[in-house]
Structure 1
Amino acid sequence: MVTPGPPPFGGGGFDFFDFMFRIFPFIFGIVFIIIVASFIMNGARYFKNARTPRSSVYARVISKRMDIRHHSGSHHDNGSGFVNSSGSSRTYYYITLEFDNGERKEYLDVKHLYGLVAEGDEGYAAVQGDWIVGFEREVGQTP
């Protein structure tokens, strides 16, 4: 009777590659679910804001801020010593308003008002959900 020898490439203990091939589908599935959930949540937020009726409120611009988000692509050495990289960035603009009752709220600027208003401006702001869609400076205010 022939007894089998040890398995090739080492002992019969923990096999890292076998473990990775077994766990990869789970990791891939979790990442896929997170990406799909992100798209659904962003779409739901967009439709919620788009369906909200516009309202015009008297307010003062308290602050403005930018949020720059970077998305990088693959980085690799093409053999010449230079690293090729691709990526993009997107800038989101926010305007914080203070209302007559003292409440403050930050709105996403979807109509490119960021450069047209200054901190301290007072006037009528058109808001729609979490978006600021218009601002009419009060007569007598200077730009």
Structure 2
Amino acid sequence: MGMNPIFLIFGIFFTLALLFILFQVFKNIRQWHRNNQAPRETQKATIVTKRTEVNHHMSNTNNNDTVGSSRSSTTYYATFEFQNGERLELTVKGNVYGQLAEGDNGYLTFQGTRFVAFERNRT
């Protein structure tokens, strides 16, 4: 007697999903480690753009399409341009995002791909 094809397909999808999750976790830990090893730099920069990314998450409770919950999360980004023309997009916290304005000049402090601070020029 052979294995049911539905169980085989489910097993393949489950394994692929698990591998994808493990890959993402490994990638995030690796980036965190790289950021910790990177020197903390401060450079003169201009904020050239800001953007947000909103992710919506839906979940059903009681296996009923009419009953469920939804939540969303927002990721905030700012792109900085250095005097040499290079640009760097960094994730920033929401309260920092609200204080940044496109065109602001100042000193960006960052560590790898981690935003540390932006001190605006007071002129």
Q: TM-score range by the shorter chain?
A: 0.7 to 0.9
Task: Note if 1:71 corresponds to 2:57.
Answer: yes
Q: Of 71, 91, 97, which residue of structure 1 is paired with 2:74?
A: 91
Secondary structure of the equivalent of 1:115?
helix
Residue-pair matches, total:
121
Amino acid in the other structure paired with 2:120:
R
Q: What TM-score does the superposition give when structure 1 sets the normalisation length?
A: 0.74
Larger RCO (alpha carbons 8 Å, 6+ apart): 2
Contact 2:58 2:70 in 1 (8 A): yes
Between the two proteins, what is the percent identity of the paired residues? 34
Q: Structure 1 93/115 Cα, relative in aligned 2: closer, same or farther at 3 Å?
A: same
More helix by share: 2
Q: Structure 1 22/139 Cα, relative in aligned 2: closer, same or farther at 3 Å?
A: closer
Amino acid in the other structure paired with 1:52:
A
Secondary structure of the equivalent of 2:103?
coil
The Cα RMSD (Å) is 2.2
Q: What TM-score does the superposition give when structure 2 sets the normalisation length?
A: 0.84
| Structure 1, unaligned runs of 5 or more | 1-16
| Structure 2, unaligned runs of 5 or more | none
Q: Of 8, 12, 19, which residue of structure 2 is paired with 1:33?
A: 19
Bigger Cα Rg: 1
Amino acid in the other structure paired with 2:11:
P
CA deviations over 1:53-103 (Å, ceiling 9, x no partner): 2110000110111111223223632xxxx7122243221111101111111
